[in-house]
Amino acid sequence: MEYKFSDKARKLIEGGYDVHVHPGPAHFTRNTDDFELVQRADALGMAGVVIKSHYDPTGARARIANKYAGAKRTKAYGAVALNWPVGGLNPYAVECNFKMGGSICWMPTRDTHNCLQYGDMSGDFFSRPGIRAFNEEGRLKPEIYDILDIIKKYDGVLGTGHFYLDETLALCDAALDMGVKTVLTHPEWNRTQVPLELQIQLSQRGVYIEKLWSNVYDNTVSPEYFAYTMRELGPEHVVMGTDGAWGDFDPIQGIMDFVDALIGFGFSDDEIHVMLCETAGKLLEK
């Protein structure tokens, strides 16, 4: 596949990570699979890609891709998202994820009460109740603390998922108190929006803020405002990804477009390197 990118972006992509990719096989139509993603990322010298599925743990998939895709540099990282097919807020699924070599545990995504209040997403194929982080007393459920304990034990990464804003903030508080590495999931997406002032507050306390090019691609946020949020946060607090691969949104082209856009908005090579390479490397590499 041919890509369009500047020579400068081609150089900056080396050693970079995409921390949020949805290749196939999947329950939804995807435009690339695990092997193709790793091979194509490797051709550009990328260091890693995180394989995310809404419904299946991907640690085993990442291990197979790393063994057989023939990549010289790129490593696939596995993860789990705690939606209903893995039991929802299920500590056993989290333990299995990290035991299989997974690196990230996302809290529920498509199956949160918050996400479902907007209606089904494209490809949803079963009816289900929404998962809440809070119990009837308005406190985080005990199993969330069990999950955070497991993430901490394996030196893994927490992704906050698609909870309501108040649930997300309480989750971040608990994770920070427990010393769990935490990434705020795509705070520009229309179902998980977090005001910039709260993003800044969270980042100053130690939460990394995920910026996904899909939110620009699908016109959820303008490229100008997206870049503005990253500038306000500071490069050391940002991790970059695409949220590909769906429709005609290709993750490799997406990450290249992301880098070229940042170049156009005046980000320095060093700033891009921090957001694309250094921060993700610190989170993922053991």
Q: What is the pLDDT along the chain (286 residues), one digit of tens a residue?
A: 678 889 999 999 999 999 999 999 999 899 999 999 999 999 999 999 999 999 999 999 999 999 999 999 999 999 999 999 999 999 999 999 999 999 999 999 999 999 999 999 888 999 999 999 999 999 999 999 999 999 999 999 999 999 999 999 999 999 999 999 999 999 999 999 999 999 999 999 999 999 999 999 999 999 999 999 999 999 999 999 999 888 888 999 999 999 999 999 999 999 999 999 999 999 998 7
Indicate which CATH number applies to the domain containing 149: 3.20.20.140
Q: Return the residue matching tokens 């997206």.
A: 226
Structure tokens at 76: 């696939």
Residue corresponding to tokens 């002032």: 197
Residue type at 220 in one-letter notation: T
- pLDDT at res. 244: 87
Number of domains in the chain: 1
pLDDT of the residue at 248 = 85
Does residue 5 contact residue 252 with C-beta atoms inside 8 Å?
Answer: no
Task: Judge whether 142 lies within some domain.
Answer: yes
Q: What are phi and psi of 53, to 5 degrees?
A: -125, 140
Which residues are CB-neighbours of 191 under 8 A, at least 6 positions away? 114, 115, 118, 162
Residue 152 placed within a domain: yes
Residue at 178 is within a domain: yes
> Per DSSP, what are the bridge partners of residue 91?
none
- In this structure, are residues 51 and 65 in contact, taking their beta carbons and an 8 Å threshold? yes
Q: Which residue type sits at 286?
A: K
Q: How many CB atoms lie within 10 A of CB 231?
A: 15
Is 108 contained in some domain?
yes
In this structure, is residue 54 part of a structural domain?
yes
CB atoms within 10 A of CB 115: 24
**Pure H helices in the chain:** 7-12, 34-43, 59-68, 91-99, 113-116, 142-153, 165-178, 196-205, 214-217, 223-233, 251-264, 269-273, 279-284
- Which pair of structure tokens corresponds to residue 149? 């304990």
pLDDT at res. 166? 98
* Contacts of the segment 112-119: beta carbons below 8 A, 24+ positions apart: 112/161, 112/162, 112/163, 112/164, 113/164, 114/162, 114/163, 114/164, 114/167, 114/191, 114/192, 115/162, 115/191, 118/190, 118/191
In a domain, 73, yes or no: yes
What pLDDT is recorded for position 43?
A: 96
* Closest among 257, 179, 269 to 223, alpha carbons compared: 257
CA separation for the pair 26, 111 (Å, rounded): 16
Residues 6 or more apart whose Cβ sits within 8 Å of residue 58:
51, 52, 78, 79, 80, 102
Q: Are 112 and 162 in contact (CB under 8 A)?
A: yes
Name the pTM for this structure. 0.96
Question: Is position 1 within any domain?
Answer: no
265 vs 81: CA distance, rounded Å? 33
Residue 2 lies in a domain: no
**CB count in 10 Å sphere of residue 127:** 7
Q: Domain range for residue 98?
A: 7-284
